[in-house]
Amino acid sequence: MKRLAVYCGSATPADPRYVQLARDVGTTLAREGIGIVYGGGRLGLMGALAGSALLAGGEVIGVIPEALVHGEVANYDCELTVVGTMHERKAAFTDLSDGFLVLPGGVGTMDELWEAVSWAQLGYHSKPVGVLNAFGFYDGLLAFNRHMAEVGFVRPAHQGIIMAERELDLLLERMRAHEPPQTIVAMDPRTL
């Protein structure tokens, strides 16, 4: 993995562990020679991630829609690309990265996560999707994903798309060993 799209919040939670987590991830990825593609802002977890990676000498590529340049305080310290829409932003994340790493975040982070999962099911990409479940932040989401599978809304072939770990090193190890699932497009329509 040469580059990961890292999805995380632009907010700064009251609990300082989240900002420190983003800093630690940025530093670790830079030290491991893994570039970061991220939302292009200076605020919240996004800013902490990018700032620490840059301080550690890492590659950081920001992709930000024009409408968010001022609101999210665009980070001109990194290689910054301004795009027209959120759709273009997410397409650039996919095109520029070798996988997706999800840190704690809000609605935007969830949008990015579920699109990465959906596109993997459909075969629009064959990249690993990793969720860093630090502090149990994603316990409820992972339980809901299991529930969707138990009810039958997530096919058995796709139940392993989301790789979740509480520790970054374990998650990166799993992501490096990723084998893409059979895609919906490749499945026999009678079994869907």
**Amino acid, res. 164:** A
Which segments of 24-59 are extended strands (E)? 35-38
Give the three-class secondary structure for 106: coil
Note the pLDDT of residue 127.
98
Residue ranges of the chain with per-residue pLDDT less than 50: none
Query: What would the pLDDT profile of 55-67 be if each residue is shown by its tens digit?
Result: 999 999 999 999 9
Query: What would the pLDDT profile of 1-21 be if each residue is shown by its tens digit?
Result: 999 999 999 999 999 999 999
Note the pLDDT of residue 73.
87
Q: Per residue in 125-147, is it b (16+ CB within 10 Å) or e — as a string?
A: bebbbbbbbbeebbeebeeebee
The whole-model pTM stands at 0.94
Sign of CA dihedral 133, 136, 140, 143: positive
Note the pLDDT of residue 61.
98
Structure tokens of 31? Answer: 């030290």
Let me know if domain 3-191 sits in CATH 2.30.30.280.
Answer: no
Note the pLDDT of residue 160.
95
Note the pLDDT of residue 70.
84
Note the pLDDT of residue 192.
59
Give the three-class secondary structure for 4: strand
Note the pLDDT of residue 174.
98
**What are the beta bridge partners of residue 37?**
5, 61
